[in-house]
A and B are shown apart, each in its own frame.
Chain A
Amino acid sequence: MSDLLVVEDLTVTFPTARGPVDVVRSVSFTLGRDETLGIVGESGSGKSMTSLAVMGLLPKGARASGSVRLDGVELLGRPDRELRRLRGDRMSMIFQDPLSSLNPYYTVGLQIEEVYRAHRGGSGKDARKVAIAALQQVGLPDPERRVDYYPHQFSGGQRQRVMIAMALVCSPELLIADEPTTALDVTVQAQILGLLAGLRKDSGMGLVFITHDLAVISSIATRVLVMRQGEQVEYATAEQVFAEPRHDYTRMLLDSIPRIDDPLDEGVTA
């Protein structure tokens, strides 16, 4: 059986006024089923672009080259029509800011149901049941009632739970979580992290967890990819990275964990 996700030599290029710019350069990693990959790096290091390239969701104008294979099937270069069938069904993504990532005009129920119906068809009634079950699964109390709530009627943590329910409603094999806890306060962060880890374990899917905070993934990642300015500076198992980081940059990230506003950060970006 092939690995779930294989990314080889992935390069993402943006055309700019001063010529093409590679915002991701030659990134390679492998994610097995039942594994969690943590992608770490400072802001602007290309973490989001890497994951958007995997999903086929790069912004207009951006080009990806290299290889992205889901379950052995090449995704790069495939028409959007085909990728669409995979997105939300076999691979899903959740984002940093759950409030703006949900459409304020529709109930969360509808927004979960439409994923299910897009991929599985079926009646609205069935989809509604599925949506309620999905909300239940992510630990939202009173899902029968809250399925008819609008996004603004939830707390930040609850909204991220809704996003997770939406991403998992078709039981995907791959979930990419792009800084899902950054916008939340610390206790809620821990809850969402625990929820993701639990759900991943139960379903056996592969999880790509993106963060700029190495501490966040220390508890859940099996492998860690460290990125800096579009390049991968370290790729190893979590134990290796935390025990004996090979790269200075990783060491610096590790050192900076307890001191958030360390002036050292500026030295890193410069």
Chain B
Amino acid sequence: MARYLAGRAAGVVVILLLVCLFTFVIFFTLSPDPAVMICGKTCTPERIHQIRDALGLNEPFLTQFFSFLIGIFAGRDYGEGANLVHCAAPCLGYSFQTNQSVWDMVVERLPVSATVAIGAAVLWLLVGIAAGLVSAVKEGTWWDRAAMGLALGGSSVPNYVLALALQYVLVVQLQVLPFPQAVAFGDDPVVWFQSYLMPWVVLAAGYACLYARLTRANVIDTLAENFMRTARAKGLSPVLTMRRHALRPALTPIATIFGMDFAALLGGALITETVFGLNGVGKMAADSIAKNDQPVIMAVTLLAAFFVVVGNVVVDLVYTALDPRVRITAR
């Protein structure tokens, strides 16, 4: 097990390094010179050279790449002499736009994205799995058809359409919710909740539809398994038969999918955050791309990759714990 974990950890590091390298290559070769952008309209070649020097952009590619990597783990210095700026580890550089430390930006915005992701996840798990379960048990009834029709339709409604529609109806027309505000839970729990409610619902809606259909399909498949017939032949109560024998096999694959979906969301819900003006990692990504703020783009890319790759490992470990057939072979 220890060896397995070490192997997986090594894999995570390698993949993240590759993502770093890949993103770096793209910026190095494809994007416009950041020094020109920073310099603005009234610019001299000397000034550009100065900026390039300060940012380390005159160095060869590999030197820049390693400076970036070292910065993450040990911190790094920008410029020299009187202009020297020390960026403490973990250093992701400074935003070209605001000169803010990118790491600080991430730390500030991650909780927002996490709040959005966690709230939405709770919602879509509850609603999606419950609806899927009822549909499976009542397969073929009007409830099943209605729920699955809704789920099918719902998963094809784009996020932003639902977001704008909700906002228009609830905030503008009915005025039952305030415009989403950036307040901390501790400051005003009610406004906090009201502000996150719409983002949660919007983000959860698509997933809930998907999970309802997944759950329904898995439960129906499981109910047709031979071991379910055995459970009935043993005289177990319907509740125990359902809870013990059907749910675990039916929901285990969903746990895996959930892990991946959730991990991806921690890297920011781009559309939802942007539409509701939430200052999360997703909005940060959107803004940085719009303004070609390379250090920030780099950071959000890495962050998303980090969550996905680590999420993958966690999912594998959880699956190993949930399915005894995998557990034994992994040893």
Interface on A for B, CB 8 Å cutoff?
55, 57, 84-89, 92-93, 95, 97, 100-107, 114-115, 118-119, 150, 152-153, 163, 166
Contact of B245 among A55, A103, A118, A166 (CB under 8 A): A103
CB <8 Å contact, B324 and A104 = yes
- Closest beta carbon of chain B to A116's beta carbon, Å: 10
Given A105-B323, A152-B325: A95 and B235 within 8 A (CB)? no
- Report chain B residues within 8 Å CB of A89: 235
Which residue of chain B has the shortest Cβ distance to A55 in the bound complex? B233
Q: Is residue B88 within 8 Å, beta carbon to beta carbon, of the partner chain?
A: no
How far is it, in angstroms, between the C-alpha of A88 and the C-alpha of B240 when the chains are bound?
Answer: 15
- Report chain A residues within 8 Å CB of B252: 105
How far is it, in angstroms, between the C-alpha of A153 and the C-alpha of B325 when the chains are bound?
Answer: 9
- Report chain A residues within 8 Å CB of B236: 84, 88, 114-115, 118
- Closest beta carbon of chain A to B259's beta carbon, Å: 18
Which residue of chain B has the shortest Cβ distance to A110 in the bound complex? B244
Contacts A150-B324, A166-B230 given; 14 further ones with Cβ under 8 A?
A55-B233, A84-B235, A84-B237, A100-B225, A101-B229, A103-B245, A104-B227, A105-B252, A107-B324, A114-B240, A118-B234, A152-B324, A153-B328, A166-B234
- Report chain B residues within 8 Å CB of A104: 227, 249, 323-325
CB <8 Å contact, A101 and B230 = yes
CB <8 Å contact, B237 and A100 = no
A-B contact pairs, 28 of them (CB 8 A): A57-B229, A57-B233, A84-B237, A87-B232, A87-B235, A88-B233, A88-B235, A92-B233, A95-B226, A95-B233, A101-B226, A102-B230, A103-B231, A104-B227, A105-B248, A105-B249, A105-B252, A105-B324, A106-B244, A107-B324, A115-B234, A115-B235, A118-B234, A118-B236, A150-B324, A150-B328, A152-B324, A153-B328
In terms of DSSP, what is the predominant structure of the interface of chain B?
helix
Which residue of chain B has the shortest Cβ distance to A112 in the bound complex? B234
CB <8 Å contact, B233 and A93 = yes
- Closest beta carbon of chain A to B235's beta carbon, Å: 4
- Report chain A residues within 8 Å CB of B232: 57, 87
As a 0/1 sequence over residues 115 to 156 of chain B, the CB contacts with chain A under 8 angstroms (1 = contact) are: 000000000000000000000000000000000000000000
- Report chain B residues within 8 Å CB of A87: 232-235
- Report chain A residues within 8 Å CB of B231: 103
Contact of A150 among B227, B229, B244, B325 (CB under 8 A): B325
